[in-house]
Amino acid sequence: MSDISTIYLDYAATTPIDPRVIDKMSPFLSDPHYCGNSASTHAWGQRARQAVSDARAAVAALIDAVPEEIIWTSGATESNNLALKGVMALYQARGKHIVTMKTEHSCVLETCQQLEKKGFSVTYLSPKRDGLLDTDIFSDALREDTVLVSIMHMNNETGVIQDIKTLSEITAARGILFHSDVAQSAGKIPISVKDMPVDLLSLSAHKFYGPKGIGALYLRQKPRVRVAPLFHGGGQEQGMRSGTLPVHQIVGMGAACAIAHLEMSRDLTHIDSISHRFLENFEKHTSIMINGDRLHAYPGIVNIGFPGVDARRFVEAHSSIAMSVGSACYAKGAEASYVLRAMGLTERDAAASIRFSFGRFTTEQEVDEAARVITPDFSLFCHPREDGDPC
């Protein structure tokens, strides 16, 4: 269990809720006047409906969309499932082929595998060594029967940012739908659906200081994109996502979006400076490697390879610092990060890599202290080598 001396450098796994978000959510949890079901016609319902509508407008504004293009979900896992399964169910007359990347989040990859079992075919593209997708390789993978492309914006393990604008322009020219998992980038870097012809985007509030358990799916209106629902029921969310709306969560996501929109450039400046400060501590350790292109990456996610080190043991031994080996999902598993392996790292180098992620509340003191604690002796945590040498 964590103690008060813990330094939280795992913002890519989840972020703490901004206290201003909690303030906005609070009446919807504690005041009976705010308990209404947003589908009800009485005053309580109207109050809830107004709050949902304001939050929807805030989510839309964050990505330059209109409110009618936003569907509430329980988070990016559901948004990704709804996007992929929902599009393939509805548009299968056009074809049965999907293109995605090997470095996607497991909720996209697992969904693709489920679709393959149902007769759809999926091409899983490898990135280059720097984590970026080669546009020629991408274009070559598109087929006559390709219906949907799903490429994430910002990678959750490396922070590498794909050129979604260029990729979606290629698909738009060929009448192929483009979905992007923007769970890591939304609220952190600018996204405008007016600037790029993406059709569907998946967002998650807990990645940008909102509550867990709430997310959204953006669905373009012009030209109109729809998805077949995963759940059937009361017909909420234009019939695409039934279920009583969790008003308090929605209010929280709206508040998080409004703050992110207003403070994005301040957050970015702060995180960039924190990230540089942290990395400066490792400059004298010439053997370490930064995984992934840094020019096309978010400074708030840094993936460092410490050659020869058993990263899992290292992270476990330094439990007062929240850092992670791969994504939070991978951290439960046994193998080295599939994302780093897809980028061409050896099993050994992937198993020697640690993700550090910073955010709005990370302080200079925290990154200095973290670096002071973790730099001194990596060799203690080296994998034994076949030749007997520790590193």
Ligand X SMILES: Cc1ncc(COP(=O)(O)O)c(C=O)c1O
Which is nearer to ligand X, 155 or 236 (by Cβ)? 155
Contact 238, 67 (CB under 8 A): no
What gap in Å lies between CA 136 and CA 125, rounded to an integer? 12
> Minimum CB separation from ligand X for residue 79, in Å?
8
Annotate 367-391 with b (16+ C-beta within 10 A) or e (fewer).
beebbeebeeebeebbbeeeeeeeb
- Rounded to an integer, what distance in angstroms lies between the CA atom of residue 97 and that of residue 34? 46
- Using Cβ positions, the residue closest to ligand X within the complex turns out to be 75
Q: How far is the CB of 156 from ligand X (least distance, A)?
A: 3
Tell me how far, at minimum, the Cβ of 105 lies from ligand X, in Å: 4
Q: Are 356 and 323 in contact (CB under 8 A)?
A: yes
Which of 35, 329, 382, 391 is catalytic? The answer is 329
d(CA 32, CA 18): 24
CB of 184 to ligand X, least distance (A): 5
Residue 107 annotated in active site:
no
Residue keyed to tokens 């709206």:
254
Q: Which amino acid is at 163?
A: D
C-beta of 206 vs 220, nearer to ligand X: 206
Nearer to ligand X among residue 25 and residue 107 (C-beta): 107
Q: Return the number of the residue (76 or 321) whose C-beta is nearest ligand X.
A: 76
Between residues 168 and 288, which has the closer beta carbon with respect to ligand X? Answer: 168
Shortest gap between Cβ of 328 and ligand X (angstroms)? 6
φ and ψ of 193, to 5 deg:
-75, -10
Cβ 291 vs Cβ 304: under 8 Å:
yes
Residues that bind ligand X (CB under 6 A): 75-77, 105, 107, 152, 156, 181, 183-184, 204, 215, 328
Name residues whose C-beta falls within 8 Å of residue 167's C-beta, 6 or more positions apart in sequence.
133, 135, 138, 149, 151, 178
Q: Where are the alpha helices (DSSP H) in the chain?
A: 19-30, 43-62, 76-91, 106-117, 135-141, 164-173, 247-280, 311-317, 328-331, 338-342, 347-350, 364-374
Q: How far apart are CA 76 and CA 210, in angstroms?
A: 13
Residue with Cβ nearer ligand X (208 or 381): 208
Does residue 243 come out as left (phi exceeding 0), alpha (psi in the -120 to 50 range) or beta?
Answer: left
Q: Are 165 and 195 in contact (CB under 8 A)?
A: yes
Distance in Å, CB of 204 to ligand X, minimum:
3
* Residues designated catalytic: 329
